[in-house]
Structure 1
Amino acid sequence: MSEIKIIPETLETLPIMPLRNTVVFPHQVIPLAVGREKSLALLNHLDEGSKVIGLIAQRDGRIEDPTVDDLYTWGTAAMILKKFKMPDGSEQIIVQGLYRFRLVEMTQTEPFFVAKIQQMPDEFVTDMEVEALVNNIKNVFQKVVDYIPYLTNEHRVMILNTEEPHKLADLVAAQINFSVSEKQQVLEIQNVKERLKKVNYLINKELQILELGNKIQNDVQGELNKTQRQYFLREQLKAIKKELGEYEDEGTEIEELREKLAKLKMPAEVRKVAEKELNRLAKMSPMASEYTVTRTYLDWLMEMPWKKSTRDRLDVKEAERILNEDHYGLEKVKKRILEYLAVRQLKSDMKGPILCFVGPPGVGKTSLGRSIARALNRKFSRMSLGGVRDEAEIRGHRRTYVGALPGRIIQEIKKVGSNNPVIMLDEIDKLGMDFRGDPSSALLEVLDPEQNFSFTDHYLEVPFDLSKVMFIATANMIDTIPPPLLDRMEVIEINGYIDEEKLHIAERYLIPKQLKNHGLTEEQITFTRNAIFKIINRYTREAGVRNLEREIASIVRGVAKEIVEGKIKKRRITPKLVEKYLGPERYFSEVAERVSRPGVATGLAWTPVGGDILFIEATKMKGKGQLQLTGKLGEVMKESASAAMSYLRSNAEKYGIEDDFYEKYDTHIHVPAGAIPKDGPSAGITIFAALYSLYANKCVKNNLAMTGEITLRGLVLPVGGIREKVIAAKRAGIETVILPEKNKKDLAEIPRRHIEGMKFHFIKEVDELIELAFE
């Protein structure tokens, strides 16, 4: 239960002394310096028997002669204990606070203030909360004493020995330097519990400020000590270097940078930035963390080849010789490079082209970039973009980041030391994209000749001219390249090689290279042409020549081992010896064997690594007309099979097939290599051929393959990937190819030597297929 005591209120008259920047509390003993005329007049007026005066704080301590409105309305009645006369005419008094009062009416203003006051007694409350507040205030006060130098151990003892809650609140508020307004708020609270709450809040806030200030002081002191220690160590290091004759003044380094900058050729805008950064560097302490960042940035600016370029080899015939020396075939690419050189002779400021080589793996796209750089007499740099997901890889990091660097484009140009290199962007179709940004979008500016003359890297923050750079991108497929990026590049498709081309490549490049890599000579090992053909046809099946090179390397290693063991001195590789070194044959020509029975047809398929042949098998069994499809087929291919079956059923009578065959038999269509996913509409006529062969009991002609989409009306629609498919047919030994009529234009783009000895038939309707494909 709480208990409230109320002291009867009394009215009396007291002389009032205004106080500047001071609030006096009951029970507090405090010295006061008295120097103002009104205050001195008040002291002189007091007789020996009257020693009680009223003390009220001013709202603004800067006012010299306050009026009634400048004073707070609450104050403390105090008894004067001592008075001292000072040499300058002022007086020093020691007073003790007695009780709170509220100003009722000012009765006199001259020569000093006199007022009627109302005594404001404490409202006592005793409960558990009051006890808790008292204990908390005492505990916090002990902590505050440790931080404040003007509080001594005597203050700590005095507060700890104070038991009365009202007295404790007043004494704590009096001892700590709270603001005048905060102290006045405490003075004006009659309820003891509320007064304790206010003091508790103020003292806790004061403790937090003191602790934070102490932490800041310790951190600063630690940093100062560290800086001083580094300074002494650097001075000692300088003294040691001077003794050894190795010391260089910091000013010397700045002067060297200025001299270097003066000699460099760079755009005016870049020079202005470099000079500004150099001036900043000169004003910095070498110990500052910013010093190293600025110095590194200056190094990048000074080492970039702003106006340094290599002279192009404009001799078209010599460039053609180099290209032919390095690569067999690839006429389309060579023609484009030679055209560029011819135009460069006529127009010296021509912008570099943006080429994109698209083709299956192993056909020489990447090595072609080196060959082009050699033909042009330019520096070469290769950037692999496969799996790059961060936009900063292209545009660089801003200098606000720790360890910031320019993007890889700028890095490569600095590395080669020329502003017109050949830069190969390898695997551009495998760029990633995630929360770190979209690198393909960052490449849009790089690969646009209308924009890249002022490419701005985030790190350099000054434009660099990329228009002289020849960019060559490589990709395995176009589909995954974003359309805006693809639009900026000139796409040159590189087809797979046929057997004759692989033979030439093996003889001219692969075998000499492997002999050199394994320390053998042409006298020690030779390959017959038939042996090379056998490796090509029986041990590799690819669009490029990577696996061919691996198999040749296996044979060379085997021969090298035998020569080292002393078993032989030289070896001539024949088709029989190929099996000895490479083991049993891995691939066989299955075309004639697979189509020897009704129900089988040979199709042509496109894959990301080049074209391939596809066998489609159909069989029938007693049933109720169900169609079963296997071989991991996609939705489009399944729909093509349904369309082929529907067309065959609707035209069964015309083709001499039983009208009710679909009621008697279930049909199963299977595409072998069942683990490999297959999809697309281009197998439509091949599926129809297999079904017709099955139900008409006729075999498809040997060495014949086909591709095309079928419709329910029996039309044959055009398909894609004709180049890859035709080259795959040539590689597999196919002699006759049936294509849609509208794909005739695609055949014109295939070099004649790739299709030499092959026959092509172009059809508009399925009926033409039956006449051409069956015996």
Structure 2
Amino acid sequence: MTINHDDEIIDVGDRLPVIPLREIVVFPYMVIPLPIAREKSIKALERGMSQDRLLFLTAQSNSEIEEPTREDVYRTGVVARILQVSKLPNGVMRVLVEGLVRARITRFLPNSSYLQVRVEVLEVPNDTDVEVQARLRAALGQFTDYVKLNQQIPDEALLTLDNGDDPRRLADTMAAYLIQTPQVKQELVEATSLPKQLETLSTILAVELDILEIKTQIDGEVRDRIHKAQREFFLQEQIKVIKQELGEFDEPADEIDELAQSISQIRMPKAVEDKAIAELNKLQLMHPTSPEATVVRNYLDWLIAVPWTKKTRDTRDLKAVASTLDADHFGLAKPKERIIEYLAVLQRTR
């Protein structure tokens, strides 16, 4: 069996070693480095190197399976050529491959060391009719917008398309650059007609463009809000410094007066009142929206809320005390026991 790849005639043997891929889908004309770490995949690579440097690459249907069998791989993949192999210090093989042509598995051959198959080449007719040209132009326009909106795709992808005129190659190149799930990309690999492939590609790109446009809009709104917040914070800090220099502060006078009046009316102990007045004077020097002002204000509210002058009659019924403690506090058996003991001793000493 022979294939024509860029005017190069390549002989494909009737037995090809298989390397199942996890989370990767390879297309014709695609050059990609692959890490090979599984024992069976390394043996398949060695077999391909010793023969005609050809492999069959196909994606796993479930990437979590460590040792895939024939039931765990897609039947459609690509015949790929090994360009370069190197061994990393950790024992992983790094192989550079080039996708040549689509192919479908027709039979799994007996081999206990690695997966080996017989395949049939799937030639995609290079249609050049008006419909294909229209679909191709639409897909190229969508892909150009897709690359401009997606920062994960390098601009070199557009240069690659500018240098090509083969509709099949252009379609496969766009499909290879798509950032999509393996399942979606597998649909493009299994498309055996150029119009079908371009239609599927345009549908995927249309959805991706809608998502990217919404994401760009959201990112812009978030960025504007952040810039606005940073600008307001910067201006507030400038105003704060200017007012400090002028001896002016924005704390509402009514609130300060209310706090001062509450402190004077509650009849706190002298030490507590002195502390509250000191904190109130500190609050007057703070910016009302600063975190420190919130802490001081909460502290003053707590001091004012404490019932300094209110008295209650002591409860001498220890059972009622225990019942109240159990109702108000879950657990804490030892602290409750210490409180009851303290009250019991206090009653005995009076």
Same fold, TM-score > 0.5, yes or no: yes
- The counterpart of 1:229, out of the listed 211, 231, 234, is 231
**C-alpha displacement at 1:58, in angstroms?**
1.0
1:94 aligns with 2:85: no
Where do residues 274-673 of structure 1 align in structure 2 (5 Å cutoff)? none
Code of the residue aligned with 1:176 in structure 2: it is L
Aligned residues of 2:28 and 2:78 also touching (Cα < 8 A) = yes
Count of equivalent residues = 256
**d(CA) in 2 for partners of 1:19, 1:256:** 73
CA deviation profile, 1:1-41 (whole Å, cap 9, x unmatched): xxxxxxxxx99321110001000011111111111111112
**Residue 27 (structure 1) aligns with:** 29
Q: Which has the higher contact order (CA 8 A, sep 6+)?
A: 2
Structure 1 residues 47, 25: closer, same or farther in 2, change over 3 A?
A: closer
- The counterpart of 2:16, out of the listed 7, 14, 17, is 14
Structure 1 residues 255, 135: closer, same or farther in 2, change over 3 A?
A: farther
**Residue 66 (structure 1) aligns with:** 68
Code of the residue aligned with 2:29 in structure 1: it is H
**d(CA) in 1 for partners of 2:77, 2:213:** 32
Q: Which has the larger radius of gyration?
A: 1
- The counterpart of 2:216, out of the listed 214, 222, 230, is 214
Q: Secondary structure at the match of 2:100?
A: strand
Identity over aligned residues, as a percent?
Answer: 33
Structure 1 residues 247, 42: closer, same or farther in 2, change over 3 A?
A: same
1:203 aligns with 2:205: yes
**Residue 45 (structure 1) aligns with:** 47
Aligned residues of 1:28 and 1:96 also touching (Cα < 8 A) = yes
- The counterpart of 1:168, out of the listed 170, 178, 182, is 170
**d(CA) in 2 for partners of 1:73, 1:51:** 21
**C-alpha displacement at 1:126, in angstroms?**
3.2
**d(CA) in 2 for partners of 1:31, 1:45:** 18
Aligned residues of 1:78 and 1:96 also touching (Cα < 8 A) = yes
Structure 1 residues 234, 100: closer, same or farther in 2, change over 3 A?
A: same
Structure 1 residues 259, 129: closer, same or farther in 2, change over 3 A?
A: farther
**Residue 118 (structure 1) aligns with:** 120
**d(CA) in 2 for partners of 1:209, 1:258:** 57
- The counterpart of 2:191, out of the listed 182, 189, 192, is 189
**Residue 402 (structure 1) aligns with:** none
**C-alpha displacement at 1:166, in angstroms?**
1.8
**d(CA) in 2 for partners of 1:255, 1:103:** 86
Code of the residue aligned with 2:72 in structure 1: it is D
**C-alpha displacement at 1:204, in angstroms?**
2.5
**d(CA) in 2 for partners of 1:123, 1:49:** 29
Structure 1 residues 254, 11: closer, same or farther in 2, change over 3 A?
A: farther
Structure 1 residues 184, 257: closer, same or farther in 2, change over 3 A?
A: farther
**Residue 545 (structure 1) aligns with:** none
**Residue 128 (structure 1) aligns with:** 130
Q: Secondary structure at the match of 1:83?
A: strand
**d(CA) in 2 for partners of 1:89, 1:131:** 47
Code of the residue aligned with 2:74 in structure 1: it is Y
**d(CA) in 2 for partners of 1:256, 1:82:** 81
**d(CA) in 2 for partners of 1:191, 1:17:** 25
Structure 1 residues 52, 46: closer, same or farther in 2, change over 3 A?
A: closer
**d(CA) in 1 for partners of 2:212, 2:111:** 42
Aligned residues of 1:99 and 1:121 also touching (Cα < 8 A) = yes
TM-score by length of structure 1 reads 0.31
Aligned residues of 2:48 and 2:54 also touching (Cα < 8 A) = no
**d(CA) in 2 for partners of 1:47, 1:234:** 69
Structure 1 residues 231, 15: closer, same or farther in 2, change over 3 A?
A: same
Structure 1 residues 47, 248: closer, same or farther in 2, change over 3 A?
A: closer
Aligned residues of 2:35 and 2:94 also touching (Cα < 8 A) = yes
Structure 1 residues 77, 256: closer, same or farther in 2, change over 3 A?
A: farther
**C-alpha displacement at 1:249, in angstroms?**
5.9
Aligned residues of 1:26 and 1:97 also touching (Cα < 8 A) = yes
CA deviation profile, 1:271-329 (whole Å, cap 9, x unmatched): xxxxxxxxxxxxxx959xxxxxxxxxxxxxxxxxxxxxxxxxxxxxxxxxxxxxxxxxx
RMSD between aligned alpha carbons? Answer: 3.0
**C-alpha displacement at 1:113, in angstroms?**
0.8
- The counterpart of 1:55, out of the listed 54, 57, 60, is 57
Aligned residues of 1:11 and 1:117 also touching (Cα < 8 A) = no
**Residue 644 (structure 1) aligns with:** none
Structure 1 residues 245, 192: closer, same or farther in 2, change over 3 A?
A: same
Deviating beyond 4 angstroms after TM superposition, the runs of 4 or more aligned structure 1 residues are 252-260
**C-alpha displacement at 1:150, in angstroms?**
4.2
Aligned residues of 2:85 and 2:94 also touching (Cα < 8 A) = yes
**C-alpha displacement at 1:181, in angstroms?**
0.9
**C-alpha displacement at 1:203, in angstroms?**
1.9
Aligned residues of 2:17 and 2:47 also touching (Cα < 8 A) = no
TM-score by length of structure 2 reads 0.66
**d(CA) in 2 for partners of 1:255, 1:109:** 91
Of Structure 1 and Structure 2, the greater helix share is in 2
**C-alpha displacement at 1:194, in angstroms?**
0.8
**Residue 159 (structure 2) aligns with:** 157
Aligned residues of 1:12 and 1:118 also touching (Cα < 8 A) = no
**Residue 239 (structure 1) aligns with:** 241
**d(CA) in 2 for partners of 1:255, 1:201:** 67
**Residue 141 (structure 2) aligns with:** 139
**Residue 177 (structure 1) aligns with:** 179
Structure 1 residues 245, 124: closer, same or farther in 2, change over 3 A?
A: same
